């Protein structure tokens, strides 16, 4: 008889609480922030040199806006970034990959619970009457024959299958998949940051090419005017025709620099179209100029101790380290016994009226233990492989941290040198402009050969282009600093589609905890 109070289904519910014991393998701990007090060997100055009418202030410990690009005060740039965030296919792929990883976590979590299945079966059976014949001597006649008519057999049962996670192998697998989901989450953050920084940089590049083209056209116009004067003087017999030919060669040489600049400008526009998910033929956004982009003057400089929390690539590498740690536990658990419990309870009767009566009850409880004995060294080798992968992930994490600090140091030092370069370029442009004017006047008075005018023209042209490039570099390196410091993703919400959305619509989801939440 069945013991009083015993029920297989109740047992399957209680067993997970009893049998889910320890978790083998190492427990993951987030690596500590490096004990570094600054980004550069020399202390940062309070501000950069004043150039272009402005200096930039370094504000230590200041927070970063989640929409840092608005500090450039360009509505066209902000609108373009909003379009890119909504339509860029690379960002969309990262969003879908995150959903895939999150759903894999939910799927694996189901392995921690018993699986329950029900079954109802109706069978129509005809038993041979020979089964009821009397057993006699061989060759003896049967004492009689029983004609058993066909009958129905009804069966209703519930089956439970459960493998208790005694050594934590399933929980480590869930932990590994959750780390993968975290990895994809920060990969999405990195894609978001890279896209916004690329759009800003491409806009600055476009503005730089436009400024170089405008400056070149102005120089060509001035030199063409000088050529017209020389032609008039030649006609009057005042100068040698060789001077006209030299000036003509200069103008033609300057005109030859325009097509490469125009080609680079077109490529910059095509790059912007790609970033916002548009075809080049359909991209008709406003043109960017250096005058339309305001230089941010207050630059946040995060504390080195907070950089590891702010950089999505560091958090992504930490998630990969977490995944590798959990995989060691999975490989270790595979070496240990695997327990399975399968209770089943049901009813079987000839009629539906008697199906669910105590007399028709049947049940079974099957328990088993499987212990790997010989696998050709496969399981042990997989465990050693997972340990090596964990060590490799640790080294990769350290390399990622070093690269992050290098990025910040590069951006900070570049901004200092950019200001000095722009200041020098401005002085060189002013000086070369005065030199060209004086040289032309002296040439007209006969005090300088025409070759001196040509040299002064070339020097001035190079100075103007150098000033434009230095102005653009200052804007680009400012964007690089915001990118190197993490871009303030912890102040905003990601845009990611719902898993059930088959139409590709996007809805905001809560972003992962930021550095301020983790403290």
Per-residue confidence (pLDDT) for residue 137, from 0 to 100: 52
Per-residue confidence (pLDDT) for residue 256, from 0 to 100: 94
Mean of pLDDT values over 346-366: 86
**pLDDT tens-place string over residues 121-179:** 998 888 877 666 655 555 544 555 667 788 888 888 899 888 888 888 899 999 999 99
Please provide residue 135's backbone torsions phi and psi, each rounded to the nearest 5 degrees: -85, 115
At 226, is the pLDDT very low, low, confident or very high (cuts 50, 70, 90)?
Answer: confident
Q: Specify the residue for token string 């503005």.
A: 207
Element at 59 (helix H, strand E): strand 57-60
pLDDT surpasses 60 at 99:
yes
Predicted TM-score (pTM) of the model is 0.82
pLDDT surpasses 80 at 513:
no
Please provide residue 59's backbone torsions phi and psi, each rounded to the nearest 5 degrees: -105, 100
Higher pLDDT, 18 or 73: 73
**pLDDT tens-place string over residues 245-284:** 988 898 999 899 999 999 999 999 999 999 999 999 999 9
DSSP string spanning 410-444?
Answer: HHHHHHHHHHHHHHHHHHHHHHHHHHHHHHHHHHH
Half-sphere CA count of 219, side-chain side, radius 13 A: 31
Per-residue confidence (pLDDT) for residue 181, from 0 to 100: 94
Mean of pLDDT values over 215-226: 88
Burial class (CB in 10 A: 0-12, 13-18, 19+), 491: middle
Q: Does residue 488 contact residue 68 with C-beta atoms inside 8 Å?
A: yes
The whole-chain average pLDDT of the chain stands at 86
Burial profile 358-392: b = 16 or more Cβ within 10 angstroms, e = fewer: eebeebeeeeeeeeeeeeeeebeebbeebbebbee
Query: Longest Cα pair distance anywhere in the chain, in angstroms?
Result: 149
Q: How many residues does the chain have?
A: 519
The Cα 40–Cα 387 span in angstroms is: 35
What is the share, in percent, of the chain residues with pLDDT greater than 70?
Answer: 87
Mean of pLDDT values over 475-485: 96
* Cα Rg of the chain, angstroms: 39
The Cα 323–Cα 396 span in angstroms is: 13
pLDDT surpasses 50 at 503:
no
Please provide residue 342's backbone torsions phi and psi, each rounded to the nearest 5 degrees: -135, 90
Burial class (CB in 10 A: 0-12, 13-18, 19+), 257: middle
Domain map (residue ranges) of the chain? 1-24+115-127+146-164+337-370
The Cα 453–Cα 14 span in angstroms is: 96
Residues β-bridged to residue 152: 124
Centre a 10 Å sphere on the Cβ of residue 178 and count the other Cβ atoms it contains: 20
Element at 370 (helix H, strand E): strand 361-370
DSSP 8-state symbol, 346: E
**pLDDT tens-place string over residues 6-31:** 444 444 444 444 455 578 889 999 89
Tokens at 60, concatenated = 């230590």
What is the share, in percent, of the chain residues with pLDDT greater than 90?
Answer: 55
Half-sphere CA count of 279, side-chain side, radius 13 A: 2
Per-residue confidence (pLDDT) for residue 512, from 0 to 100: 38
HEC readout, 132-185: HCCCCCCCCCCCCCCCCCCEEEEEEEEEEEECCCCCCHHHHHHHHHHHHHHHHH
Per-residue confidence (pLDDT) for residue 176, from 0 to 100: 93
pLDDT surpasses 50 at 111:
yes
Q: Does residue 470 contact residue 215 with C-beta atoms inside 8 Å?
A: no
Give me the CATH topology for the region 1-24+115-127+146-164+337-370. Outer membrane efflux proteins (OEP) (2.20.200)
DSSP 8-state symbol, 54: B
Per-residue confidence (pLDDT) for residue 128, from 0 to 100: 76
């Amino acid at each position: 008889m069945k013991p009083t109070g015993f029920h297989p289904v109740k047992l399957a519910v209680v067993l997970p609480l009893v049998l889910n014991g320890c978790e083998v393998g190492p427990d993951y701990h987030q690596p500590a922030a490096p004990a570094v007090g600054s980004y550069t060997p020399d202390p940062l100055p309070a501000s950069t040199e004043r150039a272009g009418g402005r200096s930039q202030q370094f504000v230590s410990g200041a927070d970063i806006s989640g929409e840092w690009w608005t500090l450039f005060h360009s509505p066209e740039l902000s609108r373009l970034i909003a379009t890119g965030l909504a339509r860029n296919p690379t960002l969309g792929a990262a969003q879908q990959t995150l959903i895939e990883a999150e759903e894999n976590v939910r799927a694996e979590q189901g392995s921690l619970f018993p699986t329950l299945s029900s079954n109802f079966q109706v069978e129509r059976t005809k038993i041979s009457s020979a089964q009821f014949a009397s057993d006699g001597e061989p060759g003896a006649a049967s004492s009689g024959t029983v004609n058993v008519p066909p009958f129905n057999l009804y069966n209703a049962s519930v089956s439970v299958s459960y493998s208790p996670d005694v050594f934590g192998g399933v929980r480590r697998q869930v932990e590994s998949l959750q780390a993968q989901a975290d990895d994809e989450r920060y990969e999405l953050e990195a894609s978001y940051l890279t896209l916004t920084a690329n759009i800003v940089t491409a806009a600055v590049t476009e503005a730089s090419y436009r400024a170089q083209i405008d400056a070149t056209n102005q120089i060509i116009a001035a030199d063409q005017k000088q050529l017209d004067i020389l032609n008039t003087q030649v006609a009057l017999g005042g100068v040698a025709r060789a001077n006209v030919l030299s000036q003509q060669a200069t103008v033609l040489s300057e005109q030859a620099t325009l097509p490469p600049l125009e080609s680079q400008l077109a490529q910059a526009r095509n790059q912007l179209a790609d970033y916002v998910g548009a075809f080049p033929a359909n991209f008709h956004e406003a043109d960017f100029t250096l005058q339309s982009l305001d230089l941010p003057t207050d630059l946040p400089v995060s504390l080195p101790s907070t950089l590891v929390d702010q950089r999505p690539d560091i958090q992504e590498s930490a998630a990969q380290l977490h995944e590798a740690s959990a995989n060691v536990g999975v490989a270790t658990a595979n070496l240990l016994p695997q327990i399975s419990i399968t209770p089943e309870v049901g009813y079987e009767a000839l009629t539906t009226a008697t199906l669910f009566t105590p007399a028709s009850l049947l049940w079974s409880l099957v328990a088993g233990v499987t212990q790997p004995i010989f696998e050709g060294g496969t399981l042990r080798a997989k465990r050693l492989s997972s340990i090596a992968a964990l060590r490799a992930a640790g080294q990769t994490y350290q390399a990622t941290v070093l690269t992050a600090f290098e990025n910040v140091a590069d951006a900070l030092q570049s901004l200092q040198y950019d200001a000095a370069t722009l200041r020098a370029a401005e002085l060189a442009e002013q000086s070369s402009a005065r030199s060209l004017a004086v040289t032309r006047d002296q040439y007209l008075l006969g005090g300088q050969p025409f070759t001196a005018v040509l040299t002064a023209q070339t020097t001035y042209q190079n100075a103007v282009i150098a000033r434009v490039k230095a102005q653009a570099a200052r804007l680009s390196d400012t964007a690089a600093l915001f990118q190197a410091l993490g871009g303030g993703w912890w102040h905003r919400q990601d845009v990611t589609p719902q898993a059930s959305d088959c139409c590709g619509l996007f809805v905001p989801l809560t972003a992962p905890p930021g550095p301020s939440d983790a403290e």
